[in-house]
Amino acid sequence: MTEEHLRTAGLSRSKALAMKDICTRVNAGTIPSAALIGQLSDTEIYERLMEVRGVGSWTVDMLMMFTLCRPDIMPVTDYGVRKGFQVLYRKRALPTPKQLLKLTEKWRPHRSVAALYLWRIAETAKTPKKKKSVSK
């Protein structure tokens, strides 16, 4: 399909170009089939998929957690995971991805489960209510 045809389906220019890149790479064999990708190591999956336009570490993390059911994935760039960690440990600021990676190392080899708990903590955390300003 042409980029214009993909755009008529509602895709942005960037998404249309990403879809075309994915298709090109699948046809060339650089993106493995669903049956073969599960046989690759985490590192190999990151290496192959991060080359694809529009695919970042978050996308690869979600694929590995929810499609490939990998038990030790910590999506350190995910806001919800970072927020859950902040709430759980009563931190003033969100941890950076680098800090989160280091701090969650002790949870190996079950970091995927830990990420699920961190998302839930972030979802259920009470957000502080803004004080109403009093007009004079």
CA distance 1 to 98: 40
Q: Which of 21, 42, 61, 78 is catalytic?
A: 78
Go through the domains of the chain in sequence order and give each one's CATH number: 1-70 (1.10.340.30), 71-123 (1.10.1670.40)
42 is a catalytic site residue: no
Q: Give the tens place of pLDDT for each residue, 29-85.
A: 999 988 899 999 999 999 999 999 999 999 999 999 999 999 999 999 999 999 999
Q: pLDDT (tens digit, 9 = 90+) per residue, 84-126? A: 999 999 999 999 999 999 999 999 999 999 999 999 999 998 7
Q: Which positions ≥6 away from 56 have C-beta within 8 Å?
A: 50, 77
pTM: 0.85
Residues 76 and 111: beta-carbon distance below 8 Å = no
